[in-house]
Amino acid sequence: MKIILFIALLVLTQSCHDGLEGLQKPDNLIPKTEMIDLMTDIYILEAHISNTYTTVNRYYKVMNASGRAYLKSKNITEKQYEDSYIYYNGTKEEFKFIIDKVQENLQKKSIEMQKKS
């Protein structure tokens, strides 16, 4: 019984590990620096919309429309953004780097806004 449990855990661990390592880089991958800028702007957009629209249904509609319009203005398709997000999210170190940079950007922008007011 212990051997079966050990083999099952080994297979499970290996399959999870292979899933992350086996992520294929999409052909339309957004470069990290651009992804950082996009995510920073989208978080700011989301914060503004969530403060403005308190009902979930309205928030959802406005956020989707605004997000699509923002990506379109940057010549990024929704699929390209989603594929890039999924890829980076599946690569732990790269996603951590991106999120850390996004947080730094948000902190800088917050400080800039506080200085202006």
- 105 located within any domain: yes
Confidence class for position 87, pLDDT limits 50, 70, 90 = very high
Length, in residues, of the chain: 117
pLDDT, residue 23, reads 78
- 100 located within any domain: yes
Q: Is the pLDDT of residue 101 over 60?
A: yes
Confidence class for position 45, pLDDT limits 50, 70, 90 = very high
- Domain that includes residue 80, residue range: 26-116
- 14 located within any domain: no
Q: How far apart are CA 110 and CA 85, in angstroms?
A: 24
Confidence class for position 99, pLDDT limits 50, 70, 90 = very high
- 64 located within any domain: yes
pLDDT, residue 113, reads 84
- 15 located within any domain: no
Domain count, the chain: 1
- 6 located within any domain: no
- 45 located within any domain: yes
